[in-house]
Structure 1
């Protein structure tokens, strides 16, 4: 495996006793300064970005009163996400990934300022919101492949699951604190201020990324350009690795059929209204990340697991069962518990799918692999926004959620039975 100088740096001694390391989060990657800086760059913005993630659907629902419009906004961000994530993956294989991160994080910050401006002046235009969302997702699509592809240059292969758990946990922590903070702040300061807080947090990220070491293409592996031919080469690479294809498909099944977030505003204002709409909305958005954080904190066993394929299969099935339970729940606290269980399953799936991808790809292909990975991971929930928003309007939100969860279980079981490659995969 190719590694940078940072992977050979002397590490700090491990302060934890062996017994604790058996179950607690594996923090070995944080003893590597370069990875610690990359990981630290997400600490503040993990919260800020979620303020915007809650504010946009809330603003659209306030303007239209329709979950279908909330779902349509997800589609508006999907097309630029797909295009620019694929292109961004190719770019990440041609230039210094640190420089690309600086450019794209700055672009996201400017977009957040524009979100604040439209809310501050009271524009109340769904079209303007969708346009800004499309621009934001384009920058995010360029950013994510470079960030994720950099990890394998900063830690050795045996620490990739631990690095994945650390990164996912801090992001999910932001998704817990961000929605809860948004739910508390919206009645007090309003929507515009949520956007400006996100913009300020992104300035912190730009500063942290600036302190990263240079991450140019490795000698002898540089791709000279980032065009259609290079993107196509990435897809050919994936097609030659059946396990990668199946791991992507497993996530598509879980997210497209089983991610009900487009229905959270409607559920908060109708099904869980007696608990308080603001409280319910914040808890629904935060519950899955809460479960993911708990799973991450107890992820010490991840580094020892060998049957990565079975871990992915089991996690997706558990996700579907938990989502079905959420859809059948009328009590807010029971619903939150089911969503938290879904979050634990999502963390397990995320860690092992990411480890499979980073282990299988060479450095000159990692940007393009992460571009496809970004499309699958982020695009699936956006397709789910359209599917669940439409189904919720037609059949009711609870029926749409429960039906999606049961479909996840049925389809994943069918895939695992029909194609044995993922079942048989192990490190």
Structure 2
């Protein structure tokens, strides 16, 4: 006897419910505007990672020193500090869609300049660093506008799911990009990597163009001047939970991001040839690989409301994984620890981003996202400088291990000193 259609439907419901609890929540994609913004990250993810691999590799090829690779951290950090904060004020004062169009165009132009320098074999460290700094200037203004736009496109209770979706698709590109870069470097050279990034950024302009207008709302600043930036800092000073989220990310990234040492470790520890090879690609791909895997199975993240606890636990796990990476004596063990750290980093990012989006009002979101850009993107660049210097003086393994230990200790101390953040719960809303 065949089961009735009602019985079949009943049997399918528990399975679909279980899958919904385990796999990534795709409900934000039902909103067309957010879907367009999300699709633009798919196009640019691989290209962006090509340049992320190419710049440190080019610097190391020219100089043979990790210290010069670390110097890129300073050239990337200064524009982020200045223009990240100012870019947040601009994002609150102008139409965010228009700002995204302008800055995406600037990013594409700098990628073309990097391509030209590599294709012409201009072996100037300072030229590469200056173009890189200009690229980071456009990024510093683009990122707050992109981040602040999300809460205007979807309901607040879907913010954790939207952050997980965005991070997961970006991490997918971060996996494919470095692996392809590692394979293409010996065959086609650096210029091709920069050219792919430029083409991807140009293609993403169309997706941004299709977004609806995002003009300033009531209460937004009329001008993006120093006063607007200072207003953002005053707002932060009154919200200790926001300050704590920034502090924990600084601890995790400044002490625990060892990417400046990847080129040296790929050759001297894991056996890559001098011209580049698979080990370099795997090291750059490992962290996003772990983030992507956790992102696919992130359906449970939006069900946890103790976002403060989630951030602290994730940062401690990141530090422990970095320690394991420092001890690793084989490539595959190193990749495993970096992947575990990437998973922990995704959890931390999802909850920190959700806290910032939910706790800040719209007229302040651009400036809060500007500070977020400075911390999230600036922290690793400061880490590049510190790890580059520490690796050159102490050795790569010691520099990585000590950094991971400082992350664990710092996160535990921060949780003990900031009980309000530990107790923070996400705001609830009725499910649609």
Smaller-chain TM-score bracket: over 0.9
TM-score (norm 2): 0.94
Equivalence for 1:68: 67
CA change 1:208–1:234 in 2 (3 A) is same
Could you list the per-position Cα deviations for residues 370-402 of structure 1 after superposition, in whole angstroms to 9, with x for gaps in the alignment?
Answer: 000000000000000000000000010011001
| Matched ranges for 1:47-58 at <5 A | 47-58=46-57
Asked whether 1:254 is paired with 2:252, we answer yes
The CA distance in 1 between the partners of 2:362 and 2:418, in whole Å, is 28
In structure 1, list runs of 5 or more residues that go unmatched: 1-13
| Matched ranges for 1:103-182 at <5 A | 103-182=102-181
Could you tell which deviates more after superposition, 251-260 or 191-200?
191-200
Equivalence for 1:209: 208
Equivalence for 2:192: 193
Misfit runs of 4+, over 3 Å: 274-277
Could you list the per-position Cα deviations for residues 330-364 of structure 1 after superposition, in whole angstroms to 9, with x for gaps in the alignment?
Answer: 01100100000000000000000000000011110
Contact 2:92 2:216 in 1 (8 A): yes
The CA distance in 1 between the partners of 2:272 and 2:376, in whole Å, is 34
Equivalence for 1:8: none
Q: Secondary structure at the match of 2:269?
A: coil
1:274 Cα offset (Å): 6.3
Q: Secondary structure at the match of 1:347?
A: helix
The CA distance in 1 between the partners of 2:134 and 2:234, in whole Å, is 29
| Matched ranges for 1:238-249 at <5 A | 238-249=236-247
1:413 Cα offset (Å): 0.8
Could you list the per-position Cα deviations for residues 38-94 of structure 1 after superposition, in whole angstroms to 9, with x for gaps in the alignment?
Answer: 000111111001101100100000000000000001111110111111111000111
In structure 2, list runs of 5 or more residues that go unmatched: 1-12, 427-432
Contact 2:51 2:193 in 1 (8 A): yes
The CA distance in 2 between the partners of 1:296 and 1:414, in whole Å, is 28
Contact 1:275 1:332 in 2 (8 A): no
Contact 1:169 1:293 in 2 (8 A): yes
Contact 2:89 2:366 in 1 (8 A): yes
The CA distance in 2 between the partners of 1:401 and 1:53, in whole Å, is 20
| Matched ranges for 1:68-107 at <5 A | 68-107=67-106
Equivalence for 1:267: 265
The CA distance in 1 between the partners of 2:105 and 2:56, in whole Å, is 23
Could you list the per-position Cα deviations for residues 159-204 of structure 1 after superposition, in whole angstroms to 9, with x for gaps in the alignment?
Answer: 0000000011111111111100100111111101111111111111
| Matched ranges for 1:292-311 at <5 A | 292-311=291-310
Could you list the per-position Cα deviations for residues 215-268 of structure 1 after superposition, in whole angstroms to 9, with x for gaps in the alignment?
Answer: 1112x2332000110001101111111111111000000000000000000000
1:208 Cα offset (Å): 0.8
Contact 2:253 2:380 in 1 (8 A): yes
1:151 Cα offset (Å): 0.2
Residues paired across the two proteins, number: 413
One of 222, 228, 239 as aligned partner of 1:230: 228
The CA distance in 1 between the partners of 2:233 and 2:220, in whole Å, is 18
Q: Secondary structure at the match of 2:300?
A: helix
TM-score (norm 1): 0.95
